[in-house]
Amino acid sequence: MNTELQLQANLDGELDAREVREIEALLARDAQSAALMQELKWTKGAISGNEAEVKLPETREFYWGKIERAIVAEERKAAAAPAERAWWLKFLYPATGLAAVVAVMFVISGGRTTDGADTESVQEDVNAISFRSEAEAMSVVYVADENATYSPVSQEPTNEPEADK
């Protein structure tokens, strides 16, 4: 901070005790700084409490009327804002639901898609193997006995045309 700004900061009470002592010492030995300080004091003293008095050139009713209308308009706008948002949200909600269903199905299927090929799953905990053939439209479940021999326990033909049975 330069000396001039320090003089001003001293006048405005913005310096700490050590800086104030330094400025006082400067003012005692430097006439130019003392003259500048005097000018700053006069100016500050002249302005302080001497702001021009200004009156609003409108009547109470007229001035308030415009404020009241603006408040009402802003409140209407704020109330209308959620309704304006709602039109596109109407489309967003079903889309979100559909996306959730697809995501659940994807997780359940273990990320696999069915392309008509035969699939086989092994359920390790129950010593059972299931077989499903899309081509034959049938499912077979093999369950292991105590000798670990698998034999089919059920066959489920699915929606076969009468003529094929």
Partner 1 sequence: MPQPTDFTTTLDVQLVAASQGGDMLAFEELVARHRDKIYARAFSMMRNEEDAIDLSQEAWVKAWQRLKQFQGDSSFATWMTRIVINLCLDQLRRQKRTRAESIEQLDEELGGVERQMPVVAINPTEGMERAELRKRIDKAMVQLSYEHRTVLILHEFEEMEYKQIAKVMNCSIGTVMSRLFYARRRLASLLQSLKKEQQS
Residue ranges that bind partner 1, judged by CB under 8 A: 1, 4-5, 8-9, 12, 14, 32, 35-36, 38-40, 42-48, 50-58, 60, 63-64, 66-68, 70-71, 74
Looking at beta carbons only, is 52 or 101 nearer to partner 1? 52
Selection from 23, 21, 19 nearest residue 4 by Cα: 23
Q: Which two tokens stand for residue 106?
A: 């994807």
Q: Angle at CA 51, nearest 5°, toward 47 and 54?
A: 165
Looking at beta carbons only, is 20 or 137 nearer to partner 1? 20
Find the shortest distance in angstroms from Cβ 115 to partner 1. Answer: 60
Looking at beta carbons only, is 76 or 100 nearer to partner 1? 76
Residue 24 CA to residue 7 CA, distance in Å, equals: 9
Looking at beta carbons only, is 52 or 163 nearer to partner 1? 52
Find the shortest distance in angstroms from Cβ 31 to partner 1. Answer: 10
Looking at beta carbons only, is 74 or 118 nearer to partner 1? 74
Residue 74 CA to residue 72 CA, distance in Å, equals: 5
Find the shortest distance in angstroms from Cβ 38 to partner 1. Answer: 8
Residue 110 CA to residue 98 CA, distance in Å, equals: 19
> Which amino acid, residue 139?
S
Under 8 Å between Cβ of 23 and 6:
yes
Find the shortest distance in angstroms from Cβ 41 to partner 1. Answer: 9
Under 8 Å between Cβ of 131 and 139:
yes
Find the shortest distance in angstroms from Cβ 99 to partner 1. Answer: 37
